A and B are shown apart, each in its own frame.
Chain A
Amino acid sequence: MTKFRKFGALLLAAALLTGTAACSGGSGSSSAPAADNNNTAATTPDAGTPAPDAAAPAASGDKKVVTFFHRWPNEPKNPIFTAYVNDFMAANSDIEIQMDCVLNDSYKEKVRVLVSGNSVPDVFSSWSGSFAENLVSSGNVLALDDMLAADTAFKDSFIESQVGPFTFDGKVYGLPMSMDGKAFFYNKDIFSANNLSVPKTLDELYAAMDTLKAAGFETPLIEGLADAWAVSHYEGTIISRLLDPAVMAKDTNKSTGEFTDPAYIEALNIFKKLTEYMGDAASGLDHETARNMFVAGEVPLIYCQLAEIRIINGETSLDTGASLGFEYDFFNFPSIAGGKGDQTGLTGAPEGFMLSNKAQNPDEAQKFFKYILSVESGERMTKEAGEISAIKGAVNENSASPEINRAVDMILSATSSVPWYDNAVEASIGDAFMRGGQSLAIGDMTAEEVMADVQNVAAEVRAANPQ
C-alpha cells in the first residue's frame, strides 16, 4: 500500500512539475486539470476497494474491522453473504466487515497466496482435505480447539464426520458450512418402465445403460464434457475406487506423485467407456445443458452434485419452465470389481471457513465466524441456496425438500469422503487430467498418452517441490 502511494505521488509530482513551467497568467488554472485527473484516479481505488492485498485494513472511524474473503461472487450465495454481513453489522455497530470475493479458480490461487503471505484475511472460506492442509501448513491458520472447548454448544452443532476433513494432527482448523456429494441421478419412471433396479456394480451400470439403449434411449447417460471440472469429477471418483489408498496418498503429495500405477489407465478407460454412452453431443455440451436434458426427461441418467437438487427440483428463482414430469432418485457411483480403493466412498467433501491467527481483532473475527456458522445461518443457506448445511438441524423438513434430506442421509452413511480431484492434486496435474480426459472422450488421445502427459507434468511438480 505504501509503495503504491509513493508511486501515485510520483506520477502526481510529474504532472505538477510540468505545470510549473506554464506562463504566469495561466499557471494556476492550467496545472489544475492535470492534477485533477490524477487525483480522481488516486482516490477511487481506495474508496471502492476492499482489496485483500492491503496489508492492514485501515480502521474506519472507531469501528473494528474484520476482513472476510469467500469464493461466491454469484447468485444465489453472494446475496446471502451480503445479507449476513449487513445483518451482522446492524447488530454489532462497532464492527465493520470488509467482504471480498473471487471466483473458484482464482480463489484457489488467491487464498493460497494470501494465507501463506502476510495479509491473511481474518475469516475465509476453504475446501477441506488436502487443500485445507496446504493452507494450514502456512502456520497462519488459527487452531480452533480452544474456542471449541470454551463453547461446547457451538462445537456440538456440527455434524462430526464433516469436521474430520478440517482436522490435521489432531487439531481442528476449520468448520464446515456445507457438505456435498456426487451421485448418479436417475429417472425412476424410466428405470421402472424398463424393469431396472439401482446398479450396485459398474457392470450392472453398463448392463442397465445397454438395456436403456435397446429401449430407444440413444444416450442413456449425459454429461457436459466441455466443462473440464465435470470430467475431473468422473476421473476422481473412478480413480478413488480403483487405486490403492497408499498410492493415492503418495501421488497426491506434490513431492512424491508419480502417477505410474496401471490403475490410472484402467480408470481412464472406464471413463472413456462411460463417455461412449453419452453420444457425440456430450463433448460440446456444458453441464447445465446436460442437466436440463435430464430434467426434460430426455436422458434417464446423469452424474450430478447433491447441491444441484434444488435446481433440478425447479426451486430456484429462475422460471426454467421444466417442471419435473417424473420421479427421480440418486445412487452412489457403483463399485468396481477388483478395485483397491474404498468401493462405497462418496466423492464430495465439505466446505467451510477458517480463521486467521494474525487477526487484528480476533474476538470480533470469531464473533462473525460463529455468526455465519450458526444454525440460523445454515438454515438460511439451505433454504435460499439449496446448500446442504453441515450444521446439525439446519437441514430439516422446513428448510429443505425430501430429496435434500435424503442427500444428507447419503452423505452421512458414506464410508469415506473423497475430495474433489481437481483440489486433491496439484493444479497443473489436475489440468493435465481434465484436458486429457476431454481429448480421451473425443478420441484425440489414448489413456496411455494422457497418463504419459500427467507423468511428465508430475515430474515437473516433483522437481519444483523437493521433499
Chain B
Amino acid sequence: MLFIAPCILMLLVFVYVPLVQNFVFSFESFSAFSQERAFIGLQNYKTLFGDKVVGTAIRNNIYYAVISVIFQVFGGLILASALEDNAFRRISPLFRTTFFLPVLVSMTVICLLFSFIYHPQIGLLNNFLEHIGLEALTRQWLGSSKTAIFAVIAMSQWQSIGYIMMLFIVAIQKIPEDLYEAADIDGANKIQRFLNITFPQVQEMFFVTMIVTVIGAFTVFNEPYILAKGGGPGTSSMTLAVHMYQSAFVRDRMGYASTVAVLIFLITAALSVIQTVAFGGDNTESKKDKKRKGAANRG
C-alpha cells in the first residue's frame, strides 16, 4: 500500500482533482488572477453552442483527424510494409531512421522551420514551385483562411508519419515468418501478400494507431498555436485546444475555457472508451503480444 501511495497521490492531486474541478469550473465565471468565482449555471454551455469559433474549431479538428488517418495511418502502414520488403533491405535502416527523425524534434522547432517553408517571400515552398514552373500554385499558405489550416495539417503529417510507420514496422516484424512462406508457396504476389497476411496481422495496431491519431487530432494545440500564430488569420485555423487557450489566457474567460475543455474531454473520452472496449482494457505490451500471437497461430 505504501508503495503505491506516492504515485496515487500524484495522480490524484495533479490529474484527477483537476479533472473533476474542470467540470465544476465549467459552470462558473472567473478570472485567471482572482480568487472569486461566480456560479452561473449553464450559461457557459449556452455560449458554447452559440459560439461560431467552436464550429470552426470542430471543423478544423475533423479535417485534422480525417487527413491524419489517411496520411499517417494508411500512409504509415504502406511505408512500413514497403520498407520491410526484402527488396529494400539494404536502404531500409537509413530510410527508417530518417522518416522517424522529425518525431524526435520538438514541435516548436518544427513550426519555426515550417514558418520558413511557408514564408510568402523567402519560403522554400513557393520558391520551389517557381523553380519548377508552377508559379500558379504559389499561395499565401498561412495568410489565407482557405489554406492556413491545411498548411498546418500538412506539417503535422510531415512530422508524425514516421511515428506511425515505426509502430507498424514493429507490428510487421512480429508477424510469424511461416505465414509468408506459406503464401509464397501458394504463389501470392506482393499485393496479395499485403492484403491477405500483413494487413490482417497488423489490424489491431491499425486500430490503435487510428484511435491515437484521432485523439491527437482532437487535442492538437502546438501546431496551430505556433505556426498559425494562435489559429490565424482571424480564427480560421482555430482548433478546440487553441480556442480553449485563447479563451482562458488571452480573453481571460477561465470558466468558459473550462467548458471548452469539457467538450475536448467528452470527445477524447468517447474515443478512449472505444479503444478500451475493443481491446479489453489492458493496453500493455505483453497482453497485446499474446493476443497477436494467438491470432497468428489461428491464422
Q: A residues touching B (Cβ–Cβ < 8 Å)? A: 11, 14-15, 17-18, 21, 105, 109, 112-113, 116-117, 225-228, 280-285, 289, 293, 427-428, 431, 435-436, 438-439, 441-442, 444-445, 457, 460, 464
Pairwise interchain contact B140-A283, C-beta atoms closer than 8 A: yes
Pairwise interchain contact B3-A18, C-beta atoms closer than 8 A: yes
Contact with A228, one of B119, B120, B141, B229 (Cβ below 8 angstroms): B229
Give Cα A225–Cα B229 distance, bound, in whole angstroms. 11
Give Cα A442–Cα B144 distance, bound, in whole angstroms. 7
User: Does B29 sit within 8 A of A, measured CB to CB?
Assistant: yes
Pairwise interchain contact A464-B145, C-beta atoms closer than 8 A: no
Give Cα A371–Cα B210 distance, bound, in whole angstroms. 61
Q: A21-B2, A293-B121, A431-B251 are in contact. Are A285 and B143 (CB under 8 A)?
A: yes
Could you show 21 A-B contacts with beta carbons less than 8 Å apart?
Answer: A18-B2, A18-B6, A113-B32, A116-B33, A117-B33, A226-B143, A226-B232, A281-B120, A282-B143, A283-B144, A284-B140, A284-B143, A285-B120, A285-B143, A289-B120, A438-B232, A439-B234, A442-B234, A444-B234, A460-B253, A464-B29
User: Does B142 sit within 8 A of A, measured CB to CB?
Assistant: yes
User: Does B246 sit within 8 A of A, measured CB to CB?
Assistant: yes
CB distance from B286 to the nearest CB of A (A): 27
User: Does B235 sit within 8 A of A, measured CB to CB?
Assistant: yes
Give Cα A464–Cα B43 distance, bound, in whole angstroms. 14
Contact with A444, one of B6, B145, B246 (Cβ below 8 angstroms): B145
Pairwise interchain contact B233-A442, C-beta atoms closer than 8 A: yes
Give Cα A17–Cα B233 distance, bound, in whole angstroms. 54
Q: Taking CB as reference atom, which chain A residue is nearest B122?
A: A289
Given A228-B230, A285-B120, A428-B253, 10 more pairs with CB closer than 8 A: A225-B233, A228-B232, A280-B140, A283-B144, A284-B141, A289-B120, A293-B121, A435-B232, A439-B234, A442-B236
Mask, B108-130, CB within 8 Å of A = 1, is 00000000001111100000000
A284 cross-chain contacts in B, Cβ below 8 A: 118-120, 140-144
Give Cα A295–Cα B145 distance, bound, in whole angstroms. 28
User: Does B42 sit within 8 A of A, measured CB to CB?
Assistant: no
CB distance from B233 to the nearest CB of A (A): 4
Give Cα A444–Cα B233 distance, bound, in whole angstroms. 9
B5 cross-chain contacts in A, Cβ below 8 A: 14, 18
Interface size class on chain B is 20 to 34
Pairwise interchain contact A289-B119, C-beta atoms closer than 8 A: yes
Q: Taking CB as reference atom, which chain A residue is nearest B13?
A: A7
- Tally of contacts, chain A with chain B, CB under 8 A: 97
Give Cα A285–Cα B142 distance, bound, in whole angstroms. 9
Contact with B121, one of A14, A289, A438, A444 (Cβ below 8 angstroms): A289
A116 cross-chain contacts in B, Cβ below 8 A: 33
Chain A facing B: main interface SS: helix
User: Does B91 sit within 8 A of A, measured CB to CB?
Assistant: no
Pairwise interchain contact B253-A14, C-beta atoms closer than 8 A: no
Give Cα A441–Cα B229 distance, bound, in whole angstroms. 16
CB distance from B144 to the nearest CB of A (A): 6
A441 cross-chain contacts in B, Cβ below 8 A: 233
Contact with A226, one of B3, B233, B235, B249 (Cβ below 8 angstroms): B233
A438 cross-chain contacts in B, Cβ below 8 A: 232-234
Q: Taking CB as reference atom, which chain B residue is nearest A34?
A: B6
Q: Taking CB as reference atom, which chain A residue is nearest B147?
A: A284
Closest 9 CB pairs of A and B: A284-B143, A439-B234, A283-B143, A284-B140, A428-B251, A438-B233, A113-B33, A284-B120, A438-B234
B232 cross-chain contacts in A, Cβ below 8 A: 226, 228, 435, 438
B120 cross-chain contacts in A, Cβ below 8 A: 281, 284-285, 289
User: Does B277 sit within 8 A of A, measured CB to CB?
Assistant: no
A427 cross-chain contacts in B, Cβ below 8 A: 250-252
Give Cα A227–Cα B142 distance, bound, in whole angstroms. 12
Pairwise interchain contact B2-A435, C-beta atoms closer than 8 A: no
In this complex, which of A14, A116, A293, A441 has the most chain B Cβ atoms within 10 angstroms of its Cβ?
Answer: A14
Pairwise interchain contact A431-B144, C-beta atoms closer than 8 A: no
Q: Taking CB as reference atom, which chain B residue is nearest A13?
A: B6
Give Cα A427–Cα B252 distance, bound, in whole angstroms. 8
Give Cα A428–Cα B232 distance, bound, in whole angstroms. 16
Q: A225-B143, A281-B143, A283-B144 are in contact. Are A444 and B236 (CB under 8 A)?
A: yes
User: Does B157 sit within 8 A of A, measured CB to CB?
Assistant: no
User: Does B272 sit within 8 A of A, measured CB to CB?
Assistant: no
CB distance from B178 to the nearest CB of A (A): 47
CB distance from A215 to the nearest CB of B (A): 22
Pairwise interchain contact B234-A281, C-beta atoms closer than 8 A: no
CB distance from B41 to the nearest CB of A (A): 14
Give Cα A91–Cα B252 distance, bound, in whole angstroms. 43
Pairwise interchain contact A226-B229, C-beta atoms closer than 8 A: yes
User: Does B70 sit within 8 A of A, measured CB to CB?
Assistant: no
Give Cα A33–Cα B265 distance, bound, in whole angstroms. 38
Scan residues 242-287 of chain B and give those whose CB is less than 8 A from a CB of chain A: 246, 249-253
B121 cross-chain contacts in A, Cβ below 8 A: 281, 285, 289, 293
Contact with B31, one of A226, A435, A464 (Cβ below 8 angstroms): A464
Pairwise interchain contact B29-A431, C-beta atoms closer than 8 A: no
Q: Taking CB as reference atom, which chain B residue is nearest A440?
A: B234
B229 cross-chain contacts in A, Cβ below 8 A: 226-228
Pairwise interchain contact B234-A436, C-beta atoms closer than 8 A: yes
Contact with A112, one of B33, B140, B234, B250 (Cβ below 8 angstroms): B33
Mask, B50-61, CB within 8 Å of A = 1, is 000000000000
In this complex, which of A289, A427, A442 has the most chain B Cβ atoms within 10 angstroms of its Cβ?
Answer: A442
